[in-house]
Every structure is written in C-alpha cells, then in structure tokens.
Amino acid sequence: MTVQIEMPQLSEEDEGATLATWLVSVGDRVEKGEVIAEVETDKSTVELEAPASGTILEFLVEEGAEGIMPGAVLGTIDAEGVSADPDPTPNERSGAPIEPSPAAATARETPTEGDAAANDHSLQSPAAEKSFLRDSTPLARRAAVDREVDLASLAGSGPGGRVLEQDVLRSADRIPQTIEAGPGAREVDTRAPSSERTDGIQTVRLSAMRKTIARRMTEAKQQVPHFYLRVRCRMDAIFDVRTNLNRDLADQGRDVKISVNDFVVRAAGLALRAVPEANVRFAGDEMLALEDVDIAVAVATDGGLVTPVLRDVDQKGLATLATEIKELAQLARAGKLRPDQYQGGSFTISNLGMYGVETVYPILNLPQACILGVGAAEEQPVVSDGEITIGRVASFTLAADHRVVDGAVAAQLLAALRERLEDPLCMML
C-alpha cells in the first residue's frame, strides 16, 4: 500500500512553509514516527515524521521549495509488508536502491545549500549524511556554507548537542557589515546568503521568516486603522519589589530571577481581565470576545521577530511567568517552537527598554487587536506631593485596532495597567 507524506498544518493562518531538508533518501526503510524531514515556518523549524513504516518510494517536492501549503503531497512510502517485520536488522534497513520517479530524480539532482554543506564535509554514505543532517539545523547548515565553517568541528548547544545557527555565527565571529551606497551607509545582515553584489550594494535573499514578517506587517499597517495612546508610569516600586522577590527566591534556592518585563506581562494580563472589552478580535462582520488571556511576547532572534504565547497569564504568578518566558525565548532563538507555542494570543508586548529606547510605536500583530510598546525606565524629575523628586519613569504605548477597540476602552486598559505597575503589591494577591 502506498502512503502519502503530506505537509501538516503548522499555522492557524494556513501559511505556506519551506521544505528545508530531507533526512532520508529514496529507497530507505523508515519506521512510523521517525523524523524524515525538516520544515521551516516563519516561526520555527519543525521535524516531519513518517506517517507509516515502509520504504521511501519517491520525493515529489525538492529541498528548498517554499510556500508549501498544508495537505500538499511531499512524497510517498511503500508500506506493504512492513508490519510483518517491525524490527529489521541494519542490513535490511539499508535495502536495495529503488529507482526514483522522474519527479524524484529532478528533486534529488538539483543542488541545494544542504547538499553543498554535505559535500563540503565529505560525507561518504547515506547513513553518515543522515547523521550529519540530524545533528545540525537547516539554518546552521546554510550559515556554515555561507561562512565556510566546518560543522563537524563545532560543539552544538542545541538539544542532544545539535549545532544551531548561533553556534556557526559564534564560530565565524561575523557581524553585520556596513556597506557604502552613495552618500549614506546601511547595514547588511551577512548571516543570509547573498545572491548578487554590484557597485557596493549587496542583495540579500530574504528568509521565509523575513518574507512573512514583511507581508504581515504591510497588511497590518495598510489594512487596519491603528490608533495610539501613551502613558508614563512610575517604576520605582517595581524595582524595589523585584529586588526583594529575587532575594527571597535566592534564599529559597530557586533558580528563578524575575525581570521588569515579567511584571509588565503580569500587569497586562490582569489589566485585560479587568477590561475584557479590549480582549477581542476583529472578524469581518463579527467581533470575537476572547475568554482566555493569552499574551504573546516579542523575542528578537537571528532570523527576525518571533512572538511565543504565554497562556492564561492572569492566572499565573510572577515566578511561573518568569520561568515560562525564559523557556519560550530559548526555544524561539533555537527555532524549536511548536505551533501551539506561537499560535493564538490576544495581546502582544514588545519591550525595547533594554536597548534604551524611550518610546515604542508598535504595529499590530494580526489578528490581535492590541499591542503594547514598552520603553526604558529612566530617572527623570517627577512631581510628588507638590515637590519635585527624581524617580524612574517608563513610557507605555498602546496600539489598538479601531474597528473593535474604541479610544475610551484603550484608555481604561492603560489606566488599569498603570495602576498595577505603580502598586505592584496588588499583583501578588
């Protein structure tokens, strides 16, 4: 019986994905659940498992193909007679080579960046090639080819010692270069493979993530009526409470450190619960009122901005949120987020305060109706009880979708946020 290898649905928006790497070859025997390919979405790299045990008959989609939609057939497996031999010997698993179909032959004969990386490391056998591919991510292999780095010489920092893109970049010690172009200059990210360079201008191919970011941001800004409201919050109490909490956690031997951003996430979750009219989405002729308070936190990665989602924020304490945010950020930077870890969300927080940015005017993360931009907490003159004192003040800017959120509702949400940030002890209850 022939079983089709299909592209799974990896995003609730049904956006296309990129087939990064086949980890097996035509003629290989595979077991159901064995990882046979890696697929790149705009958020992460996902492992594709074999839908059945059997022999790979053909590949219908070549490595590097982009925009593959859910349900598309990637290849086929001959599943006949496999159940009678659930534990084949290594010799049996190698099997006799099977002639691929014309489509499969075309797919395998087309050189790809993954093939170039494999050839560059003198892989001598299919088993060695599969081991090599499994021990490094597609982004790492592309970066290695671009920088002429020997992957075999690197100690991976990923799960099971897997080599990640950041390992290659660290080894190459490469930074964005300033390219002169006319009277000004611009920075070019040398981590992406360049396709052309003339007259001091380097053309860089966009990654699948960057293409998706470009499209979604353009749609959001052009199609959604944004409006912005800004408040300034005293942050002195946050810093004092944070210091005490971290000291208590250290005394308890807990490996958790609470950041200012954790307080902001917690305050936003409680504010959304207090102002449910802002916890909504626009849906054509309808408005969706969301019961759960799920907040996406923007994380900067080498490939672009990723927004993993924290679930039920209003029901979790600061220590729990701090742990979850740290874990999700690590997965995002390693390209290992599962679809359920970045899909959905009713609200996004983009914090650039750690870079010294005073005010952030963010673009909505569709289909969400609100996003909060967080600036740096800086010492400023403030008036307290009729006297001028020095205090730490941060700027919070809310961007909202005017189709479903009115100015009064957005103002109530910011007021609820400020109330909790300026009196953080209320968040402990």
Domain ranges of the chain: 2-171, 219-428
Q: What mean pLDDT do residues 132-159 have? A: 71
Q: 55 is written with which tokens? A: 């022999």
Please state, in angstroms and rounded to a whole number, the distance separating the CA atoms of residues 8 and 25: 20
Q: How far apart are CA 305 and CA 362, in angstroms?
A: 12
Question: pLDDT band at residue 185, thresholds of 50, 70 and 90?
Answer: very low
23-35 pLDDT per residue, tens:
888 888 898 888 8
And the tokens for 24? 């097996």
pLDDT at 86: 43
Q: What is the mean pLDDT of residues 237-241?
A: 95
pLDDT of 158: 65
| Nearest in space to 135 (alpha carbons), one of 115, 110, 155 | 155
| Beta strand pairing call for 347-351 and 370-374 | parallel
| Mean pLDDT within 264-284 | 96
Question: Among 208-212, 221-225, 250-254, whose mean pLDDT is lowest?
Answer: 208-212
The Cβ of residue 223 has, within 10 Å, a number of other Cβ atoms equal to: 10
DSSP one-letter code for 17: B
pLDDT at 147: 74
**pLDDT tops 80 at residue 413:** yes
**Average pLDDT of the residues of the chain:** 80
Checking if the pLDDT of 83 tops 60, the result is no
Can you say whether the dihedral through the CA atoms of 406, 407, 412, 417 is positive or negative?
Answer: positive
The pair of three-digit structure tokens given for residue 172, joined into one six-digit string: 């190459």
Rounded distance between C-alpha atoms, residue 194 and residue 202, angstroms:
7
| Residue 415 pLDDT level (bands cut at 50, 70, 90) | very high
Alpha carbon distance 361, 130 (integer Å): 46
Residue whose token pair is 């671009």 = 146
Say if CB 51 and CB 8 are below 8 A apart.
no
Beta-bridge partners for 145: none
> Contact at 8 Å (CB) between 228 and 221?
no
DSSP string, 221-237: HHHS-EEEEEEEEE-HH
**Could you tell me which residues come within 8 angstroms of residue 26 by beta carbon, excluding any fewer than 6 positions away?**
56, 57, 58, 59, 97, 98, 100, 104, 108
Residue partners of 423: CB distance under 8 A and separation at least 6: 237
Structure tokens at 177: 């270069």
Band (12; pLDDT cuts 50, 70, 90): low
Q: Cis omega (within 30 of 0) on the bond before 339?
A: no
Just list the catalytic residues. 402
* Residue with the two structure tokens 């080599």: 163
Look up residue 265 and give its amino acid.
Answer: V
89: CB partners within 8 A, 6+ apart:
none
If pLDDT is split at 50, 70 and 90, which confidence band does 11 have?
low
Torsions phi, psi for 413 (to 5 deg): -65, -45
Top pLDDT among 156 and 119 is at 156
pLDDT of 251: 93
Contact (CB, 8 A) for 279 and 346: yes
Q: Count how many residues are written for the chain.
A: 429
Fill in the DSSP letter of residue 83: T
pLDDT 10s digits, 323-374: 999 999 999 888 888 888 988 899 999 999 999 999 999 999 999 999 999 9
Q: Report the half-sphere exposure of 225 (CA within 13 A, side-chain side).
A: 7
Q: What are the C-alpha distances in Å from 93 to residues 83, 85, 285, 340, 380?
A: 14, 11, 56, 34, 69
Higher pLDDT, 29 or 110: 29
Q: Is the pLDDT of residue 124 over 60?
A: no
Q: What is the CATH number of domain 2-171?
A: 2.40.50.100
Q: Does domain 219-428 have CATH number 3.30.559.10?
A: yes
